[in-house]
Amino acid sequence: MNLKELYQEIILDHGKNPRNLGKFENFNKDAKGHNPLCGDKVHLFLKLDENKKINDISFEGQGCAISMASASIMTDLMKGKNERQVKELISKFLEMIKEKDDIESNLLNDDEKTKLMSLGGVKNFPMRVKCATLSWHALSSALDDFQKKVTTE
Amino acid sequence: MNLKELYQEIILDHGKNPRNLGKFENFNKDAKGHNPLCGDKVHLFLKLDENKKINDISFEGQGCAISMASASIMTDLMKGKNERQVKELISKFLEMIKEKDDIESNLLNDDEKTKLMSLGGVKNFPMRVKCATLSWHALSSALDDFQKKVTTE
Amino acid sequence: MNIDNIKKEFPIFSNKIHNNDLVYLDSANSSQKPLVVVNRIYDFYTKEFSNVGRSVHYLSVAATNLYEKTRSSVQKYLNAKDKNEIVFTKGATEAINLVASTFSQEFLQEGDEILLTELEHHSNYVPWHYLRKSKGVKINFAEIDEHGDISIENIEKKITPNTKMIAITHLSNVTGAILPIKEITQLAHSKGIPVMVDGCQSAPHMKLDMQDLDCDFYAISCHKMYGPTGLGILYAKKKWLDNLPPYQGGGGMINEVKKNDISYSELPNKFEAGTMATAQVIAFDESINFLNKIGIDNIISHEKKLLDYGEEILRKNNSVKLIGNPQKKGAVLSFTIDGIHPHDIATILDEDGVAIRAGHHCCQILHDKLGLTASARASLGVYNNKDDLDKLNESINNCKKIFNK
Amino acid sequence: MNIDNIKKEFPIFSNKIHNNDLVYLDSANSSQKPLVVVNRIYDFYTKEFSNVGRSVHYLSVAATNLYEKTRSSVQKYLNAKDKNEIVFTKGATEAINLVASTFSQEFLQEGDEILLTELEHHSNYVPWHYLRKSKGVKINFAEIDEHGDISIENIEKKITPNTKMIAITHLSNVTGAILPIKEITQLAHSKGIPVMVDGCQSAPHMKLDMQDLDCDFYAISCHKMYGPTGLGILYAKKKWLDNLPPYQGGGGMINEVKKNDISYSELPNKFEAGTMATAQVIAFDESINFLNKIGIDNIISHEKKLLDYGEEILRKNNSVKLIGNPQKKGAVLSFTIDGIHPHDIATILDEDGVAIRAGHHCCQILHDKLGLTASARASLGVYNNKDDLDKLNESINNCKKIFNK
Ligand SMILES: Cc1ncc(COP(=O)(O)O)c(C=O)c1O
Ligand SMILES: Cc1ncc(COP(=O)(O)O)c(C=O)c1O
């Protein structure tokens, strides 16, 4: 798959009509991601329960179609997942985006896999890898950070 | 002339048996030269009259055959010269050592010219040019410096 | 050397990118290298290599002569008064750091002010920013006008009795604005303020005359000037180099070294510590030769024609918005397309072999001011032609098609 | 790759110097370059050139990957724990300046002490000397013993409660002494003192293992390691790079830039401001490959044999005095000849095509200590062989003849 095909399918759709866009009211955690090289920004909002299960998630951001689509697909996928599941999905996604050809996880159905793998085309474009992973890294640090707060409070 | 021939004639003689070596008693001006790249050092001693005519001159130093020979030849030549003559000789010498093939000056007899031109072979060796000119630069600054003192005193 | 035919001097253009001819429009980032320069590097390493200034053997002496020959060529090219006003650095960034660091040590105190502009590249801001912490220095920014230009009035407005240095770009790498350096320098000097010019973008495209500009410092990156990477030039008036402390310390820049004290070399060695970028300096002489052979006047008129043509076709292309419309403009076409992020533009153009840059181009302050997080930028070099700009436009149209714009 | 046959990998040796074959014995100054390295530079510029890390187009992405590939190769070669512990600089001199400047900003106060040795190159003294003025720091020198060696006892003697950094050479560029870095690091760490190693001379000749040495900083010059000029490496433990402030400021090393504040990038970008020596970094990967192909063990045993042979014949040559007789010695033969100044030796040897260095080799402190103003130095590289040393000896004999010694 070349990048142009990529742009014609899932990414263009999610890029133009991102799901879960905008801040919702009763979030209890947020986290920012920033790519200094290109200026892409993402701001995640999360409603976590005490076990860090994601009850709700949304985002605001400015960036290219790939970073917007990635945030859109990710937020769709993460709703309702518990901490272990979130962490597994993040690490599977990062593996896939950096080196692997596909993604294996019991947590994903075929449709979800196809969506995620549409982002796999950026593998050979290090600059764009950062776009695709921006929101995922932000989510990861949001979870870690939430833990810290809980344990130190 | 290549450098090896050079080493067999005038320079070796002056390098091994430098004339005017050692400090004399009633000098009224001294000046140091130092080549930081190789560590060559020269220390000039001068007896100048009020018009900056050189009544006596000698040197101490550590350095290669070329810098020692150059100091030896120079001090021999400068004895008895007045300021204008010294300046002319310095500038003629520096010209010759940097670019010209010969040296022209009414102040020099043929024998003296030959001696000076024996140093001209270093022209294409920038590192050695510094060796050959070290004592000349020191003499030049000694004269300028003497002037300053006179005018400010 | 005929500029209309100059592409053939650059071997890279005989290669294909994604099966397309390379349309290189990223010269403001770094220029391609003519074969003469690459060959010089090759020949130097394979036939003449030695370190400079440190040994008395044949190769070393020859290398030292070649190294100093480039210094003389640069002096002439810049019309600097003195050969020793040319200092080699690893890039413009280092040159600016050198000035900020040594100037502050000797001449700055708490409360002093540095005047920059909103157009500055991070390389001409971060080194001054450091002085906020180390010296309690304040930094002011002359504002751009609605054309992305800096007028002399906007400079004047921000000068205060505490202004101790004006550090400004000669040619903006985003809006293409060419600043009136000579007038700024006159104004600044009338108030006793030195001027440092970031000449990264101007150097490959304008006639450089240090004595005419009369600026105090001028920083250049050789890799943007058809030269090798890892090399820059700092021009500085001799009186400054004489009075500033050395920057980095090391071999070659010392006079005498004792356990309790050190004295430093004369110019130019004082500012060239350690083994320098010998091969790069020597090869850069060929870059200067190359520029001289084409002739800067020919370069200027060639690039002016291209720039005008590029502006014309992009203005006609609806939904493309050009950034900056300064009085005098050089070699840069920055733009945005409504609804398509610059990164996506750049990626899609790349598939067509069209290399442009997307991002903030190390000018976040400017992008903030313009309300942008990023822009797309096509920038010109001697090797570009109208075809390249037509291909740019075509590829932008492809891009719009993909995004249904 | 067979080391006995390695000269043919270096094109320079097919050239004549003053009608003689080149006997290159100045590798401690800078090494010659194998063809693979020169070719890599040529290919990169003619087929693949672009700036690194700043654009999203094909050439730029490819160049970025190549650039980072070298970082990984260097990490492996040095057995560093983390890729981001490798910082590219313009040379070892810059690497040491970086450490001295940033370490002092964060960790040094008036009265603190830096411990050097009498063997140090000016590049590992001048940057610390600056801190005398800027920070009121004191500098101490561990003394050499009668062999031109530094024992761990002589280090220990000079450590005080105020010692905040030990900065020492791994291999002296004059006496050839190899210092017991691992033991020194253990001692220093037991007292909470970090250790910076000047690895310029060791890097081309010894097995490098950062995790085993456990030093905090290690500085390398690539041009002495069969690599291009204008490139150096700073290895530093991650904890230091994380906690030190950035050095030069400019493009590529920032995170966010606002008019009132700036935040900096993650490693490794934080310490790589401005356009780096892209082509040089990419070509250096071939230097590492070249070293790996021969194998460092083969290099060590080859050079040991040569060094022993060189010492043997020079000791037999009366009126030649070798400088330094350390316990462990590498790749360097420094000497004087009674009554002939080293500069004259070097000039005369040069006529025979024998390239050595004469002077203080940027080690004035050491020369003062030895009562010398200059010495002659023959230094070895992989390409040398016994013939070269025989020619050295022959040419020394010529020299003695000319001076009637
Ligand atoms: C021991 C030592 N340290 C430091 C340096 C400085 O290295 P460079 O000049 O490549 O920066 C050198 C070489 O000149 C050296 O031999
Ligand atoms: C206007 C301007 N200033 C400074 C720089 C920094 O130059 P370099 O990265 O070569 O040090 C650049 C290029 O990146 C530039 O365009």
Domains detected in chain C: 3-30+295-402 (3.90.1150.10), 38-292 (3.40.640.10)
Q: Give D264-301 pLDDT, tens digit per residue.
A: 998 989 999 999 999 999 999 999 999 999 999 999 99
Q: Both tokens of residue B22?
A: 């050692």
Mutation to probe ligand 2, out of C31, C118, C121, C360 (largest number of atoms < 8 A from CB): C121
Distance from CA of C369 to the nearest CA of A (A): 14
- Rounded-to-integer distance, Cα B138 and Cα B130, Å: 12
Distance from CA of D74 to the nearest CA of A (A): 20
Q: Read off the DSSP letter of residue D19.
A: T
Model confidence at B1, pLDDT cuts 50, 70, 90, reads: very low
Q: Give C368-402 pLDDT, tens digit per residue.
A: 999 998 999 999 999 999 999 999 999 999 999 98
Mutation to probe ligand 2, out of D248, D275, D278, D280 (largest number of atoms < 8 A from CB): D275
C-beta of residue C227 within 8 angstroms of C-beta of residue C282: no
Q: Is the dihedral of CA D256, D257, D260, D264 positive or negative?
A: positive
C-beta of residue C380 within 8 angstroms of C-beta of residue C389: no
User: Does position D395 have pLDDT exceeding 80, yes or no?
Assistant: yes
Stretch D78-82: mean pLDDT, rounded?
98
**Residue identifier of the C-alpha nearest atom 15 of ligand 2:** C200
Q: Give A23-47 pLDDT, tens digit per residue.
A: 999 999 999 998 877 778 899 999 9
Q: Do D56 and C358 touch (CB under 8 A)?
A: yes
Q: Give C279-307 pLDDT, tens digit per residue.
A: 999 999 999 999 999 999 999 999 999 99
How many CB atoms are located within 10 Å of the residue C243 CB?
12
List, as own/partner pairs, every contact residues A111-117 make where C-beta atoms lie below 8 angstroms and the sequence separation is at least 24, other chains included: A112/A77, A114/A10, A115/A10, A115/A73, A115/A77, A116/A73, A116/A77
Ligand nearest to the CA of C253: 1
Ligand nearest to the CA of D95: 1
Model confidence at A129, pLDDT cuts 50, 70, 90, reads: confident
Q: Both tokens of residue C210?
A: 């240090």
**Which other chains touch chain C, taking contact as 3+ CB pairs less than 8 Å apart?**
A, B, D
C-beta of residue C179 within 8 angstroms of C-beta of residue C155: no
Please state whether beta strands D254-257 and C163-169 pair in parallel, antiparallel, or not at all (unpaired): unpaired
Stretch C231-251: mean pLDDT, rounded?
97
H or E stretch including D241? helix D238-243
User: Does position B79 have pLDDT exceeding 80, yes or no?
Assistant: yes
SS3 label, residue A36: coil
Distance from CA of D267 to the nearest CA of A (A): 13
Residues of B in contact with C65 (CB under 8 A): 126
Model confidence at C138, pLDDT cuts 50, 70, 90, reads: very high
Stretch C323-330: mean pLDDT, rounded?
96
C-beta of residue A69 within 8 angstroms of C-beta of residue A15: yes
Q: Both tokens of residue D26?
A: 């100045």
Residues 63-92 of D with CB under 8 A from A: 64-65
Residues of B in contact with D334 (CB under 8 A): none
pLDDT of residue B4: 62
- Size of chain C, expressed as the number of residues it contains: 405
Burial of D146 (0-12, 13-18, 19+ CB in 10 A): exposed
Q: If you measure from the C-alpha of residue A152 to the centroid of ligand 2, how many angstroms do you get, rounded to a whole number?
A: 45
The whole-chain average pLDDT of chain B stands at 86
Q: Both tokens of residue D93?
A: 């001199």
- Rounded-to-integer distance, Cα A101 and Cα A89, Å: 15
User: Phi/psi at B135 (nearest 5 deg)?
Assistant: -70, -30
* Sequence-ordered list of residues with C-beta below 8 angstroms from that of C288, at least 6 positions apart, any chain: C70, C73, C74, C77
pLDDT of residue C102: 98
pLDDT of residue A101: 81
Model confidence at C88, pLDDT cuts 50, 70, 90, reads: very high
Model confidence at C82, pLDDT cuts 50, 70, 90, reads: very high
Q: Both tokens of residue D52?
A: 């690194």
Comparing alpha-carbon positions, the chain C residue that sits nearest to B35 is C255
The pTM score is 0.94
The whole-chain average pLDDT of chain C stands at 96
Higher pLDDT among residues D132 and B152, named by residue: D132
Which is catalytic among the residues C200, C222, C362, C363? C362
Rg (CA), chain B: 15
Q: Does A37 touch chain D (CB under 8 A)?
A: yes
Tell me what percent of the residues of chain D surpass a pLDDT of 90. Answer: 90
**Which other chains touch chain A, taking contact as 3+ CB pairs less than 8 Å apart?**
C, D
Query: Nearest CA to C13 among A67, D242, A103, D47?
Result: D47
Q: Give A130-144 pLDDT, tens digit per residue.
A: 889 999 999 999 998
CA C215 centroid distance within chain: 16
Q: Both tokens of residue C333?
A: 């076409």
How many CB atoms are located within 10 Å of the residue D339 CB?
13
Q: Do A126 and D61 touch (CB under 8 A)?
A: yes
- Rounded-to-integer distance, Cα D401 and Cα D405, Å: 6
The whole-chain average pLDDT of chain D stands at 96
**Dihedral, CA atoms, B15, B18, B23, B26, nearest 10 degrees?**
-140
Query: Across-strand partners of C169?
Result: C198
Model confidence at C364, pLDDT cuts 50, 70, 90, reads: very high
Stretch D305-313: mean pLDDT, rounded?
98
Q: Give D144-196 pLDDT, tens digit per residue.
A: 999 999 999 999 999 999 999 999 999 999 999 999 999 999 999 999 999 99
Mutation to probe ligand 2, out of C98, C172, C221 (largest number of atoms < 8 A from CB): C221
Residue C170's alpha-carbon distances to C126, C150, C204, in angstroms, are 18, 10, 12
Q: Convert D11-25 to b/e letters by CB count within 10 Å (16 or more is b).
A: bbeeeebeeebbbbb
Ligand 1 binding pocket includes C275 (Cβ within 6 Å): yes
Q: Give A48-103 pLDDT, tens digit per residue.
A: 998 889 999 999 998 899 999 999 999 999 999 999 999 999 999 999 988 888 88
Q: Give D110-141 pLDDT, tens digit per residue.
A: 999 999 999 999 999 999 999 999 999 999 99
Stretch D329-345: mean pLDDT, rounded?
94
Secondary structure (DSSP) of D284-313 = HHHHHHHHHHH-HHHHHHHHHHHHHHHHHH
pLDDT of residue B8: 64
In this structure, the residues whose C-beta lies within 6 A of any atom of ligand 2 are C 28, 91-93, 121, 123-124, 169, 173, 198, 200-201, 221, 232, 362; D 250-251, 274-275
User: Does position C240 have pLDDT exceeding 90, yes or no?
Assistant: yes
pLDDT of residue B147: 65
Model confidence at B120, pLDDT cuts 50, 70, 90, reads: confident
Q: Both tokens of residue C382?
A: 């001697």
Q: Both tokens of residue A50?
A: 């005490």
- Tell me the CA end-to-end span of chain A in Å, nearest whole number: 49
